[in-house]
Amino acid sequence: MSNKSIRANKRRARHRGGADRKAPSASPSQLSAATTVRAASATATATADGFATADYPAHIYRSIPSAVGISPGLTMDPLPANDTLSGLVSPPHTSHAPRVAPPPPPPTPRLYHQDYSDLLWFSPPLDVGSDQAFSHRDVLRDETRRAKAIELGYEACKRITAIYSKTFYLGTQMISPEKAKNLWAVYVWCRRTDDLVDSPRALITDRQTLANQIVLWEQRLANIWRGRCVDVLDSALADTRDMYPSLAIEPFQDMIKGMLMDLDQQKYRDWNELYLYCYRVAGTVGLMTLPILGTSRGARAIDAAPHAVDLGIAFQITNILRDVGEDADRGRIYLPQEDLQKFGVSERDIFQHRVTDQYKELVKYYIQKAQLYYESAERGVALLHPSARLAVQTALDVYRGILTVIERNDYDNLRKRAYVSKLKKLTMLVPAYLKTRSMPQ
């Protein structure tokens, strides 16, 4: 799993925009629920262990109570033009004076995929009130209530994973149900983290607000590691942490740093800068999932970790190559400036979707670079516990297949989106199975 498998699949609901894009102006009669959500905030009350009061943005902190699964969340429809209850809009005209035409609505951000953000943020709270952070251990002393909250959390994580990342979800169907639910919990945390800076809601939020939300999200992560949860999705991750004591907080913190890079950087100077970004948003996922997947007899986690990171790097390069055109439409270029100059490719070429011979050579170069990381990752599959190998090998083969599609498209990733069809994914299962069966048990 990569965060651009996650970020990428992020792109299933992902809509990258300029980091410092300002919220579009709108008259009160055109206020949308998305703007209302951004303006709202919920307060985290001071807790027994000394946490200070903090104002959390509503779409991060507040959970909407629901009797089932996941709440559909707040309506995303604009307020009706004659809504007089809130005081936001004037009552209808009663005079005979000519009406003044309202200004045009603000432009709608270009969405490449359907937005499911409500599933991420409006999950059921644990039942002590939506404005309080609390411990699923200390506050939910009733084991029945605690077990129910955790069960709801895992079910919600399963549903979100199935929607956002079909490839990752397919992989989790090949391992034990117990490990699968823990991987769903990790995936959903990563997906929520990515959503802070890369979602339709983020497109209409100013840079400083997004930065503040990331800081608060890091504080919330620290609370989860202490067993203090806000909603059932947090509770699922806290339970996963309890089940795997070797699951370290540092990769999660590093991923948050990657979100800050995505917020501040539209371009990358050289491969070293891009590698750091790839590690933070994708390589970290390998370190998060390794304690859950486990290692084979005689193999140590410290030996498997570099290969797990390399798999994330390979996934991230693949996603960057797959999404060059979409990223360009959002004003972003991830391919390093140094390499653009080296191959004679201009930013104008990319922004105008011109597939020149020089550009094709640049894409070939990065495909070769990704293949080197895939080769390292494949050597690491044998170090994993036998029960985890098929899932990882299948994910590796599927993502690697995206590079083959780019080659088949004559390296045109500016105007053509490369993807592996569902049928092709299924046909990859047998070769992956045969590879893993030949590995030492």
pLDDT in tens, 66-93: 222 322 232 223 323 333 323 333 333 4
What residues contact residue 338 under an 8 Å CB cut-off, 6+ apart? 269, 270, 271
Task: Give me the mean pLDDT over the 161-186 stretch.
Answer: 92
User: Is 99 among the domain residues?
Assistant: no
Residues 243 and 269 in one domain: no
Distance CA(388)–CA(231), nearest Å, equals 29
Cα distances (Å, whole numbers) of residue 235 to 158, 403, 434: 14, 37, 37
- If asked whether residues 154 and 279 sit together in one domain, one would say no
User: Are 275 and 244 in a shared domain?
Assistant: no
Q: Which of 249, 282, 310 is the last residue of a domain?
A: 249
pLDDT in tens, 380-395: 999 999 999 999 999 9
d(CA 291, CA 334): 30
* Structure confidence at residue 49 (pLDDT): 32
Same domain, 331 and 385: yes
Cβ atoms of 215 and 52 within 8 Å: the answer is no
Interatomic CA distance for residues 109 and 38, integer angstroms? 16
Q: How many CB atoms lie within 10 A of CB 419?
A: 14
Last residue of a domain, one of 249, 276, 301: 249
Asked whether residue 304 carries a pLDDT value surpassing 80, the answer given is yes
57 and 206: one domain?
Answer: yes
Dihedral class, residue 234 (left if φ above 0, else alpha if ψ from -120 to 50, else beta): alpha
One domain for residues 242 and 317: no
0.75 cut: is pTM over it? no
Q: Are 373 and 426 contained in the same domain?
A: yes
Q: Are residues 303 and 381 in the same domain?
A: yes
CA–CA dist 257, 250 (Å, integer): 11
Q: Are strands 228-229 and 41-44 parallel, antiparallel or unpaired?
A: unpaired
Per the domain annotation, does 257 fall within a domain? no
Q: Which of 92-101, 315-324, 382-391 has the lowest mean pLDDT?
A: 92-101
Residue 142 has a pLDDT of 67
- pLDDT of 352 > 90? The answer is yes
Query: Do residues 327 and 437 share a domain?
Result: yes
Q: How many domains does the chain have?
A: 2
Distance CA 388, CA 176 (A): 9
326-348 confidence digits (pLDDT tens):
999 989 999 999 999 999 999 99
Domain that holds residue 62: 1-15+32-72+109-249
Q: Where are the beta strands (DSSP E) in 130-187?
A: 134-135
Can you read off the two tokens belonging to residue 36?
A: 């209302």
Contact 292, 183 (CB under 8 A): yes
Question: Does residue 96 form part of some domain?
Answer: no
Q: Is residue 21 part of a domain?
A: no
Among 164, 191, 340, 163, residue whose Cα is nearest residue 255: 191
Same structural domain, 310 and 283: yes
**Same domain, yes or no: 63 and 197:** yes
